[in-house]
Structure 1
Amino acid sequence: MKNLHRTHLNGLRALEAVGRLGSLRAAAAELGVSVGAVSQQIIKTEAQLGSAIFERSGRGVVPTPLGRRFLDRLTIGFQTLDTAVAMALHNDDSVLTISVAPVFASKWLVPRLAAYARAHPETKLRLEAAIDLVNPDSSDIDLAIRVGEGGWRNVRSEMLLPQEIFPVCAPALTDRLKAPRDILKAPVIRDINSNIDWNVWLKPLGLDEQELAEGDTFTDAALCLDAAIAGQGVMLAWHTLAHDALRAGRLVAPFPQRATTRFSYWLVTSANRPEPAKVRVFKAWIRAEIDAMLAESSQFQGRESP
């Protein structure tokens, strides 16, 4: 690796970031420096290399033919370094880092973590709220919990819970909901960012979403849940979102029918590293919690429709 002594690592980082992100400004934002500093790093490193990596134009910087080949290899090299750093971070067995969707975390997981801490005081949890799929090999994430269809490449994914949906509402609205068809006359709460529509639940019952009444709309499932608790209407919920509110009596599920979506909850870990004990312990714990929730939820199911 004697050639590395001819250039500064910060300069190579600047070249790689500009090549990957396509602009000086984006590279500066990622590296946490000014655009001018990135530009100076590029000039200095090109001089050390004795070759132009970028061509300057009115539209910005564009890799030269040599630059394209050079930058491809540079990105691979920095990815390898990033993976090595992540491996070192994963070496701390006392901290378990979990990436989880915000709604799942706030409405289901976080209220149960005190019980986990009592059972496993040797492990400290660190939660990161995110919805994008993470790469456990190039981050410090030990485990991710995601909703989707599974089948993601380059990770190990294990199904935790199939997603079932069903209507919920405040207890005061149940007198208006004797049969599923009555939902067509009730105010409906909608999550405009949801990728699940009402027809998943309605169609098997011979009903159609187009017949639903108007109601309030929100951009977040947790806000929809709060609106339902406040009595603003009926929403389409699922176990991990509504279970605790159903258990507390703040919501009811007026009908027994459940509809399975194409989505499930998945436990996502590295496909390339041995699974540490702290991950195996957490997986066993969360599976037991899910089983307990499902067993308990049977008492919240609504009455059979006539």
Structure 2
Amino acid sequence: MKDLNTVHLNGLRAVEAVGRLGSLQAAAAELGVTIGAVSQQIVKTEKQLGRVLFERSPRGLVATPFGESILPRLTGGFETLDQAVALARRRDETILTISVAPVFAARWLVHRLDHFTEKHPDIRLRIDATTALVNLESAGVDVGIRVGAGNWPDVKSELLLEQEVFPVCSPAMAENLKEPKDILGLPAVIDGRSMFSWETWLREVGLSGETMTARHVFNEASLCLDAAIAGQGVMLAWQTLAGYSIIEGRLVMPYPIRVKTGFAHYFVTPPSRRESKTVSAFKQWVRAEIAESMRRLGFA
């Protein structure tokens, strides 16, 4: 392929497009450049080859006999390149790469993966558990689940579940909780990285300005939940974090009051990629599982 080094591929693309489409205007539209740029590329290519490819006439550019002899081969070559690029971009739709926060993976997703496998045995999940806002396109992620306001740049966001918070604690610790104010006498386990505070819930129950006594502060919500399960304090949790432990009976909700935080769970997908059947299947499954868990919690 030494001869290719003597000619710019952009010039050959311009020659091929004009020859196939029959006009500078049509070639410029397909290549996404100006008519002048296409004309200049053709002139440069003719100089590099040392041969005239097109005759200039009142009707426009007409291929010379030499041009006619090489145009079919150029078209065939670029069709082969186009097929190679399409093959390189084709994704294995039997593997689904998901980006989720570690706490969502550990406290909600992992417990239900056997349900997904039973329903979709032909799809393998690759789970990237991270708190980083990864670039879905460059990281090869098919779909993510994030919690926030839903206004992240460079992704398509689709609402999954509005976040609601409520106190949870061990069954033993809940025995003496009759009224909301009783909770002020309990130690709290605090998520130091939380996007909301206890004031969110206390305000709703008429205790605005009151403070909880922190027993432990963690930098990971999953650790807070383990501490609450161990009876070390009461925690302000949300549906996907505490739901499984409540259903199992390891935690209880001492009060039925749930408060929206203004945040929500969202599906996020790369904006430039069409939604595959596997992504659609995963999203449909997650929605069904969320609905079932909310029903079992009595939140539906």
The TM-score normalised by the length of structure 1 is 0.68
SS of the counterpart of 2:225? helix
1:199 aligned onto 2:199: yes
1:239 aligned onto 2:235: no
Task: Tell me if the contact between 2:160 and 2:265 (Cα under 8 Å) persists in the aligned partners.
Answer: yes
Aligned partner of 1:176 in structure 2 is 176
Q: Distance in 1 between the 2:116 and 2:298 partners?
A: 24
CA RMSD across the alignment: 2.4
String of CA shifts for 1:232-287, please: whole Å, max 9, x gaps.
Answer: 11000011111111011110000010000111111001211211110001010000
Where does 1:135-154 land on structure 2 (aligned, <5 Å)?
135-154=135-154
Give the partner amino acid of 1:99: S
SS of the counterpart of 1:264? strand
Alignment CA distance shift 1:253-1:4 (3 Å): farther
Task: Give the Å deviation of 1:210.
Answer: 4.2
1:286 aligned onto 2:291: no
Q: Distance in 1 between the 2:276 and 2:244 partners?
A: 31
The TM-score normalised by the length of structure 2 is 0.69
Task: Give the Å deviation of 1:183.
Answer: 0.7
Task: Tell me if the contact between 2:190 and 2:214 (Cα under 8 Å) persists in the aligned partners.
Answer: no
SS of the counterpart of 1:211? coil
Q: Distance in 2 between the 1:255 and 1:110 partners?
A: 27
Aligned partner of 2:213 in structure 1 is 213
Task: Tell me if the contact between 1:193 and 1:220 (Cα under 8 Å) persists in the aligned partners.
Answer: yes
Aligned partner of 1:119 in structure 2 is 119
Aligned partner of 2:109 in structure 1 is 109
Give the partner amino acid of 2:96: L
When Rg is computed on C-alpha atoms for both structures, the one with the higher figure is 2
Q: Distance in 2 between the 1:102 and 1:220 partners?
A: 9
String of CA shifts for 1:155-186, please: whole Å, max 9, x gaps.
Answer: 11101101000000000011221111001111
Task: Give the Å deviation of 1:139.
Answer: 2.2
Aligned partner of 2:186 in structure 1 is 186
Q: Distance in 2 between the 1:165 and 1:128 partners?
A: 26
String of CA shifts for 1:5-38, please: whole Å, max 9, x gaps.
Answer: 9xxxxxxxxxxxxxxxxxxxxxxxxxxxxxxxxx
Aligned partner of 2:275 in structure 1 is 275
SS of the counterpart of 1:109? helix
Alignment CA distance shift 1:138-1:211 (3 Å): closer
Give the partner amino acid of 2:267: L
Percent of pairs with identical residues: 48
Task: Give the Å deviation of 1:206.
Answer: 1.6
Q: Distance in 1 between the 2:90 and 2:125 partners?
A: 13
Give the partner amino acid of 2:103: V
Task: Give the Å deviation of 1:90.
Answer: 5.8
String of CA shifts for 1:90-146, please: whole Å, max 9, x gaps.
Answer: 611110000110000000001101110111011111000112222222221001111
Q: Distance in 2 between the 1:212 and 1:113 partners?
A: 36
Where does 1:26-37 land on structure 2 (aligned, <5 Å)?
none
Task: Tell me if the contact between 1:89 and 1:140 (Cα under 8 Å) persists in the aligned partners.
Answer: no
- Figure out how many residues of one structure are paired with residues of the other and give that number: 222
The runs of 5 or more residues in structure 1 that have no matched partner are 6-83, 302-306
Give the partner amino acid of 1:188: A
Alignment CA distance shift 1:121-1:209 (3 Å): farther
Give the partner amino acid of 1:104: F
Aligned partner of 2:160 in structure 1 is 160
Q: Distance in 2 between the 1:179 and 1:223 partners?
A: 27
Q: Distance in 2 between the 1:178 and 1:93 partners?
A: 52
Alignment CA distance shift 1:87-1:293 (3 Å): farther
SS of the counterpart of 1:282? helix
String of CA shifts for 1:168-213, please: whole Å, max 9, x gaps.
Answer: 0000011221111001111111111112100111112221354322
